């Protein structure tokens, strides 16, 4: 059994389409955030103070906007990979932008720990900070690959 990872019929294409689906669902969720959060809190039978409620709204809204941008850049990078042209400046830039969009999520969650005292909030903030650093390193590797590819193209 030969499972294809890259290309139009591979896993990377499934991921590209998934990015689009998640963007659509995320947009709907962010636009309906006040109602969705109220429904969730009623479902859980939780009463929260107004300051925590508005902190949650702001936190989730910023996360949603950053998530939408991350998915947008991931979809474009995956498209480059699917058309068998992964080592381009465009792909390297998009991976770098993904790391940059992880930073606001990390900082807003780390700041939110003062308004929403929860280990989960701290964990999400530290995770996104770690992801931003890892993805930035991967972007630098893509820049190096682009340089090697350009040098290789010039020698042939």
> Could you tell me the residue ranges of all domains in the chain?
11-155
> pLDDT of 40-69, one tens digit each?
888 878 777 888 888 889 999 999 999 999
The 10 Å CB-count burial string (b at 16+, else e) for 50-71 is eebbebbeebbebbbbbbbbbb
pLDDT of residue 1: 54
Whether residue 156 has pLDDT greater than 70: no
Q: Which band of pLDDT confidence, cut at 50, 70 and 90, is reported for residue 30? A: very high
Give residue 93's Cα distance to chain centre.
15
pLDDT digits (tens, 9 = 90+) for 105-122: 999 999 999 988 889 999
Whole-angstrom Cα distance, residue 85 to residue 57? 40
Contact 68, 27 (CB under 8 A): yes
Contact 36/29 with Cβ under 8 angstroms?
yes
Distances (CA, A) of 101 to 4, 13, 21, 105, 120: 30, 23, 19, 7, 20
Q: What pLDDT, on the 0 to 100 scale, is given for residue 107?
A: 97
The better pLDDT of the pair 74, 3 is held by 74
What number is the average pLDDT over the span 17-39? 94
Interatomic CA distance for residues 145 and 16, integer angstroms: 22
Do the Cβ atoms of 93 and 77 come closer than 8 Å? no
pLDDT at 41: 86
């Amino acid at each position: 059994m030969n499972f294809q990872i890259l290309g139009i019929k591979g896993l990377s294409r499934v991921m590209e389409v998934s990015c689009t689906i998640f963007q659509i669902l995320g947009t709907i969720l962010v636009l309906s955030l006040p109602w969705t959060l109220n429904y969730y809190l009623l479902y859980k039978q939780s009463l929260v103070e107004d300051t925590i409620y508005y902190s949650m709204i702001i936190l989730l809204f910023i996360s949603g906007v950053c998530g939408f941008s991350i998915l947008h850049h991931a979809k474009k990078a995956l498209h480059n990979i699917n058309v068998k042209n992964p080592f381009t400046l465009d792909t390297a830039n998009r991976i770098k932008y993904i790391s940059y969009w992880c930073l606001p999520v990390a900082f807003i969650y780390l700041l939110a720990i003062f308004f929403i005292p929860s280990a989960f909030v701290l964990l999400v903030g530290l995770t996104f900070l770690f992801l931003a650093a890892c993805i930035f390193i991967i972007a630098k590797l893509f820049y190096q690959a682009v340089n090697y590819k350009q040098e290789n193209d010039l020698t042939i």
